[in-house]
Structure 1
Amino acid sequence: MENYAINSLKITLFIFCSSILYACSSHKDTAGSRAMQNLTSRYNYIYNSNVILIEHQQELTEGYADNYDEILPVYVSPEKYDIFNSQPSESMPAMDEIIKKARVILLEKSYGNYVDESYLLLGKANFYKQNYFNATEYFDYTAKTFPNNKKSYVQALDWKARSLMQLGKYSEAALVLDTLSITISDLKNNKADPLATIAQIYIHQRMATEAIGALKEALNANPTGAERIRWTYILAQLSEQQENYPEALFYYRKVEKSNAPFEMYFNANLNRIKLNAFMSGVKINKQDQLLALLKDDKNEDYHDQVYYQVAETYARDGDYDQAKKYYKLSVRNSTKNAYQKGLSYLKIADLNFKHFRDYRGAKAYYDSTANTLPRTYPGYELILKKNQNLQYLTDRYEVISWEDTLQSIAKLPEQERPAKINLLANPIVEPVKTTETYAMNTFQPGYDNRTKNTNASSSFYFANSNALSTGFNDFKKKWGNRKLESNWRQSIRSSAQETIQDINKSYSNNGKVAANPDSLPVTVPDTESKVKLITAAVPLTPELLAISDQKIIDAYHEMANFYLQELNDPKEADEIYQILLDRFPNNNRLASIYYGMYLVNKTLDPAKSEMFKNKVLKEYASSTYAKTILDPSFSLRQSEMEVTVNKQYNDLFDLYEKKDFNAVIQRVDEVLKANPENYLAPQFAYLKAIAIGRTSHVDNLTTEFEKINTSFPDDKLIVPLVKEHLAYINQHLEEFKKRQIALIDFDPNEPKFFGQQFPVTVAVKNPVAENKPVKSEKNIETPVIPKAVTPGKPVVPVKVVGIFSTAISSIYYYVVHVADASLTLSSSRFGIGQFNRGNYTENNLRHQLKEFDNDQLIFVGNFGTFDDAKTYAEGINPQLKQIMKVPANLYKSFIISKENFEKLSSKDILDKYLEFYKNNY
């Protein structure tokens, strides 16, 4: 009997276990199968996956460095997606385990009640892996498939919005959150997280009032302890931003009394002291309260923030000297917070820029700011722009400093000059400590650390490449891009110091530019060479002094215009204009200076403005400045007129190329009769003259040329060319008189628009009015304009950026870039040929065309040095308005070496060179 009972129990247990196994293993929709799937899904998969997610979020929060100088993010999330740099995490074991568990539910337990949660798990795992596109799709599918499951539906919308924000798609996220806000209005539980997400979109949209309301609702919806503290701190920040200081103070105190992380506690305490002082209006005590925090050992790592807040209180009171002092202390005491150091650099730069008007000092601090703050900092691009613009001013200060130094030497008695020059060539400087010099050298990229042990783990600092790299980066963050030179800490130097640095900074052993500017050490030429260099630059003759003065005049004038037009600083512009007038009361920029003084004093000093207005109208009545004062719309009408005149000229030039010379003569007469003072009148007259030369005797041609000389005596483009033509005709007058038609050698098969060549033996033909080379009896390689030595100008180090280099070349081109490939440039190239023949008769200048898809380059060469090309540019640039028959906003000019020019193969590369040219030349 007992055996029977035992056997019956075994049979029953076997059937029960078999049933369980069948229910578990069979993927079908039965009551038993659903019950078993729900049981295993909930405890084996969902619960464990949520535990992994919570642990991962805690790890993410603990490793995240909050920036308390900005509104904290509501949630600590992975990095945002960057289309250029972001790479989704290929392997995250914890998230991969969640994905695996979720897929088991979908594949084997799809008849249970946890399919919606498995899709949510897939979305969250992809979110933390930074696969935000995939996460968005999973959350979107969940929301659309399970709209009746309110808990899953709300979670899906919430996390979909978070994923879209990580992708930067804030407008799409806002639409999702609009739907979410309607949905959660009826919920009683689980509202904290979605309300916080809604607050986050408001923060991004700078809707602080709405964000505060959403966060307050989220705090009332029973969030976790850590979330409650974080959201309370954000409420305090938002209230402070809204200038609701009592409420901000209330929330900061709540954070202080909570179990907040120490850094959050410290910042809440710091902000509480700051707001208390600000609200009380006590000016003596508030800095002391902040500085008292320095006495607490726990705050050792936060001294930089304390000094920063002290500086902020001084800045708010208008005590900018004290503010600058404490910002510098903040920089000096920054041990781990690079963001805080960058903010302090930025504040010092802004003080120098806005209040002290120390633009060179501002340039140095903006440089350090750009090297320290992350590129994601709001306004980072503006910082870079300021940094680049201030280089423009620095360059001109250096020109003035250099020329002033040379002129001061020229004023000395002759017997005293050698001693001064020798002092400049061989300055007496205090020796730098050996360790500091060595450290400076080794901080530089490219320094060859020839030590026996180069292992990174070496305990000797200078044998450890990783330590050196870190040291150099730290140096660069603190000091910016400082050059290795004496007194390198000084951002502003005397003119003598600057001259010494300019001379010493750029020579290798043979007096040539180093191939790699970062290679150190760089030796300077011998004292005798430097003495000769400086002596040659001293302006001892009236002609050289006039050239030196003009460089100073141009530098001051460009600086004043920059302050006025770019920096919008009329006060500084007025000071520079006044300095220029005081030093050079009879300079060649008076019309422009008087007009600038009229503009800057409109608000500063109306009476002074009126005085300069009258000076412009009286002394320069025919100038553009006077016409603009009398008629503010003059410039606009002038631009419209120039477009019309350019079109008329281009149409006439087309007729000339078609050899319809009679039509050219007739149309020119019509144009000049209707508008005799148009700015291209000399060129119209010249086109008529050479058309006459194509159809009649030389006497008629010379008559027209003489008319041009008489009618346009101040023209610098056509008149020099006409004088050259007349000289040539007079030299070969008998040959010309034998002809019935003066200009007969028009050969369409010859390449047009080349400047004249002057080889050894020339077959004499008439080159008048031809844009083609005079033929030689043998092929001679195109010579290069001889290199000219520019005395006193130091050689600058080679700079390499990408594929471009400032290395010295044997050939340079002057280039006019036209940003429209559809324009015909024949007439413009004809004008360049006119300028070349009138001003560079004996040089072998050619001008040619290079085309891209949407751009054209007219390049002129060959020049033997950069300075030769620059001299050419200084001559032709003032004439470009008359030469280029295209709108002024479509062209710009630059200089380029042959090596760099050959790399210009597309518009993108051209744009990169233009940026390179702007920054380095």
Structure 2
Amino acid sequence: MQGRFLNRYIFCHSATARFRTYVLWVAVTVWLCGCSQYSTKKLPVAYHNLNARFNAYLIARDRLREVERYQLKTYQENYNQPLPILLPLDSTKLEPVKAQLDDAIKKASLVAERHQNSKWLDNSYLLLGMARLYRQDYGNAMEVFKYVNTKGEGQDEKHEALIGLMRTYIEVGDYTNGLSVAEYLRAQPLNNANTRNYYLTKAYLHQKRQEYAVSAALLDATFPLLKKGETTARLHLIAGQMYDLVKKPEQALEHYRQVLRNRPNYEQSFYATIYSIQGGRTSNERFSRMLNDRKNNDLRDKIYYTMGLLEARNQRYPKAIEYWKKSIRETTTNTSQIPYTYQEMGKVYFENLQDYPTAKAYYDSALALLPQQSADYRVLADRKVFLDEFVEQQRIIQVEDSLQRLAQLNPAALDRKLDEAIDLKLKQQQELIAQAQTLAAQAANRPATSSDIPAEQRWVLYNPILVTQGRAEFTQKWGNRPLEDNWRRIQKETAAQALAEPAPQTGSLPNGTVPEGNTSGLTTLSESERKAQKDALYAAIPLTPEALRQSNQRLEDAYYRLGKLYKFQFNQPDQAIPTFETLLNRYPNTAVKPEVYYLLMLSNDQLNRPSSWKEKLLAEFPTSSYARQVGKTGSNGTHTASGENEAQRTYTQVYNLYKANNVTEALSRAEASMSALTGSLIEDKMALLRVILIGKVRGVEPYRQALIEFIRDYPASPLLPKVKEMQVAAEQPTAKRK
């Protein structure tokens, strides 16, 4: 009886437990189903808000803040250029924090995937867009920001998304769309944080467009929204730079003063002082105090650079160059200042001293060390093209003149001259070897890293600055030479170069290099080596009529190109005139004579000098394009409406004669009417018709010459491609005969 009762009790208790478990399971299931991410009920929304915030949003935000701190810590400011208002994005430099960016993207995406009803959805999308922006994934970043603006619920989040979209447009260079977004935001009621970010982003946009006055004004509107600190001090420094660029020194000085009032770091305060001095707004007596301050030991190069700028501004160019050389010598581990110092030296030699070979050398050095993304790189590269050509043409003139003088010597005198050149070269090599050995001995006897050794006496290979400079100078002079024996024999040295090369300055090593190994072989030459060198020099001298003709052609081209560089690139008509006159005196039958007459006329007019070049041009080359430029009809150089109608009638008459196969009469009429059609809209059409008629009447060779003249006289004609095709076709029969 008791056993039966006990069994029934156990059975009932077990059934009750199973029922309770079932009820609990049903309750949990119902509760979880009620917490759907699409539900709008309070309990599910609270659940997803909690999870979205603590399991995703806050983690993504913290990861992104880590990335921003890393970017701010590792970014290297270039104080030689206007600082960017917003730090430039470079995913390669953020590679060490790539894991943080990936985690930020992953966590921010979780909110969109699992917590659609959370109030942190828009904020998480904004974090996702910023993370994509830092990764330079601009397409996806735009899509995210546009989505928040379209589908987002909060107005502040929508505005923040549009500011992010504007920043993305700036990074891809789409300033037009960036300005469109800015114009829309300008009319919106932004909160303080968005107002601050809007002003900074728009100021950055105008800075990128080089609209510095607008950018500085926007920064002025931003400062009341900022707290004191290094970030604000940096923005004041940038505002001062931009006011300097738009020639508003008073506003610039006030911002430099504000830098010192906003708890700047040491570099910011130093450069605020330097920029104030550069503008001549504070006493340069501060230089001595700054040079004696031990905290400025790593910045002495910048101080001397600024002293050079002030001397150059006061037209004391030798003193400026002396300070700039000191700036280079004072450089320590940070070599970023060197290319800008070279650039200023090249600028003074180019614009003020007009020493173009020296300017070229400094520009070469600046370009070798200047970052290609620098704003000055393209300007320097363009100027260097003209300087390279200028130096090359000067070298050709010097070389060819020297070669022709050598060719006029009698054999005995020429042989002695070449022996002297070889001996001089050998002597220079011996002096360089002696200098290298002296420096090497000093380096062996004293520790090269000792601070009491003057920089100019340290062995060059122990000095990373000189090694960098030497490598750049070597590449500029010799090119990329492979590591091999007797590499110097690869050079193509002419006799004139060997005779005309000046000896290097005493106390300097070329290219920052030192001969290696046994150098005794360079101090003497065997008979076979001397003979080989002399034969190479003989081979370059124009001793035959054909070689002399080629030498004269190179000289003629060099004078012509040099004169045009003086006239157009360097704006020095006083130098262009004697260059062109030398060309005409030495080569009176030059093919470019009409153009040279015309350029001489323009150069003399520019200097307000009377000349007869216009009359010579009209008398000797009345049908040339240059004569037509001088004698164009009408006060403004164009035909009147009636003149155009008459020109059209003349062209039609000549063309009808050509169609009627009356080519001789047509050619005669075309040549007679060319001067009357000068300046008309169909001048080049008549000129082309004349070329075709010459081919039919006078034959192949006059036809080819007429094509050449058309290309020379009408370089901007829309008919030029057709004429060049005709020229190629005219050359084909000759090629087949060959």
**TM-score with structure 2 length normalisation?**
0.71
**Equivalences for 1:54-69 in 2 at 5 Å?**
54-69=65-80
Superposition map of 1:460-539 within 5 A = 474-477=469-472, 481-483=476-478, 497-499=497-499, 526-535=529-538, 538=541
Match of 1:516 in 2: none
The partner residue of 1:366 within 336, 352, 363 is: 363
**CA offsets per residue over residues 428-472 of structure 1, 9 Å max, x none?**
3242338969x9xxxxxxxxxxxxxxxxxxxxxxxxxx9999997
1:187 positional shift: 3.4
The whole-number CA distance in structure 1 between the counterparts of 2:138 and 2:548 is 67
Q: Alpha-carbon deviation of 1:194?
A: 2.1
Aligned match for 2:149, one of 124, 143, 149: 143
Aligned residue in 2 for 1:390: 387
Matched to 1:152, the amino acid is E
* AA of the residue aligned to 1:250: E
Q: 1:31 to 1:535 in 2, by over 3 A?
A: closer
Q: Equivalents in 2 of 1:413, 1:115: separation in Å?
A: 94
Preserved contact between residue 149 and residue 158 of structure 2 (Cα < 8 Å): yes
Q: What is the rounded CA distance, in whole Å, between the counterparts of 1:495 and 1:317 in structure 2?
A: 44
Change (3 A) 1:477 1:551: closer
- The reply to whether residue 352 of structure 1 matches residue 349 of structure 2 is yes
**Match runs of 1:86-235 below 5 Å:** 92-146=98-152, 149-184=154-189, 187=191, 190-223=194-227, 225-235=229-239
How big is each residue's C-alpha offset from its partner over 1:46-100, in whole Å with a ceiling of 9 and x where there is no partner? 33332222222111011001122232222224228xxxxx999799221222222
Where do 1:570-719 residues align within 5 Å? Answer: 570-577=573-580, 584=586, 588=590, 592-604=595-607, 606-607=608-609, 609-614=610-615, 616=617, 620=620, 622=622, 624=624, 627-628=627-628, 630-632=630-632, 666-672=662-668, 675=671, 684=693, 687-688=696-697
Structure 2 distance, partners of 1:479, 1:682, is 52
Matched with 1:341 is 338
Judge which range, 215-224 or 541-550, deviates more: 541-550
Rounded Cα–Cα distance in structure 1 between residues aligned with 2:539 and 2:216: 71
Q: 2 CA distance for matches of 1:294 and 1:627?
A: 63
Q: Answer yes or no: is the 8 Å Cα contact 2:175–2:205 preserved in 1.
A: yes
How many residues in Structure 1 have an aligned counterpart in Structure 2?
625
Distance 2:557 2:722 in 1: 36
Deviation at 1:299, TM superposition (A): 1.9
Percent identity over paired residues: 22
Quote the offset at 1:331 in angstroms: 3.6
Separation in 2, partners of 1:716, 1:533: 40
Q: Is the 8 A contact 2:111 2:120 kept in 1?
A: yes
Q: Answer yes or no: is 1:245 the counterpart of 2:285.
A: no
Judging changes above 3 Å, is the alpha-carbon distance between structure 1 residues 25 and 324 closer, same or farther for their aligned structure 2 residues? same
Supply the distance in 2 between the matched residues of 1:180 and 1:586 (Cα, whole angstroms): 69
Partners of 2:630 and 2:115 in 1: how far apart? 86
> In 2, Cα distance between the equivalents of 1:495 and 1:531?
9
In 2: Cα distance, 1:151 partner to 1:110 partner: 19
Distance in 2 between residues matched to 1:21 and 1:331, nearest whole Å:
75
Q: Structure 1 residues 827 and 592 mapped into 2: Cα distance closer, same or farther (>3 Å)? A: closer
Structure number with the higher helix fraction is 2
**Does the C-alpha gap of structure 1 residues 160 and 346 become closer, same or farther in structure 2, counting only changes over 3 Å?**
same
Residue 433 of structure 1 aligns with an amino acid whose one-letter code is: I
After superposition, the Cα gap between the structure-2 partners of 1:648 and 1:311, relative to the gap in structure 1 and judged at 3 Å, is: farther
Q: Displacement of 1:226 after TM fit?
A: 3.8
Match for residue 798 of structure 1? none
Q: Secondary structure at the match of 1:482?
A: helix
**Alignment-mate amino acid for residue 119 of structure 1:** Y
The structural deviation recorded for 1:629 is: 6.6
**Amino acid in the other structure paired with 2:355:** D
Q: Specify every segment of 5 or more residues in structure 1 that has no aligned partner in the other structure, as ranges.
A: 1-9, 81-85, 440-465, 503-520, 656-662, 692-707, 719-817, 834-845, 849-859, 862-921
Report matched runs for 1:396-475 at 5 Å.
396-410=393-407, 415-426=412-423, 427=425, 428-431=427-430, 432-433=432-433, 474-475=469-470
Q: CA deviation at 1:559?
A: 0.9
Distance 1:827 1:50, change over 3 A: closer
* Alpha-carbon spacing, 1:673–1:585, altered in 2? closer, same or farther (3 Å): closer
**Residue 268 of structure 1, CA deviation:** 1.2
Give the gaps of 5 or more residues in structure 2: 1-19, 440-460, 503-518, 640-645, 675-686, 707-717
Letter in 2 for 1:610: S
SS at match of 1:92: helix
1:32 is displaced (CA, Å) by 1.8
- In 1, Cα distance between the equivalents of 2:361 and 2:420? 28
Partners of 1:318 and 1:177 in 2: CA distance = 45
Work out which of the residue numbers 41, 47, 54 in structure 2 matches 1:30: 41
User: Secondary structure, in 3 states, of the residue corresponding to 1:29?
Assistant: coil
Offset at residue 673 of structure 1 (A): 5.2
Q: Which amino acid aligns with 1:299?
A: N
Aligned to 1:774: none
Q: How has the CA–CA distance of structure 1 residues 672 and 57 changed in structure 2, closer, same or farther, with 3 Å as cutoff?
A: same
Is the alpha carbon distance of 1:676 and 1:472 closer, same or farther for their aligned partners in structure 2, counting shifts above 3 Å?
Answer: farther
The answer to whether the 8 A contact 1:88-1:130 is kept is no
Structure 1 residue 557: Cα displacement: 2.8
CA 1:194–1:106: 2 relative to 1, 3 Å: same
Question: 3-state DSSP class of the match of 1:279?
Answer: coil
1:369–1:477 contact (8 Å) kept in structure 2: no
Per-residue deviation at 1:533? 4.6
TM-score calculated relative to the size of structure 1:
0.58
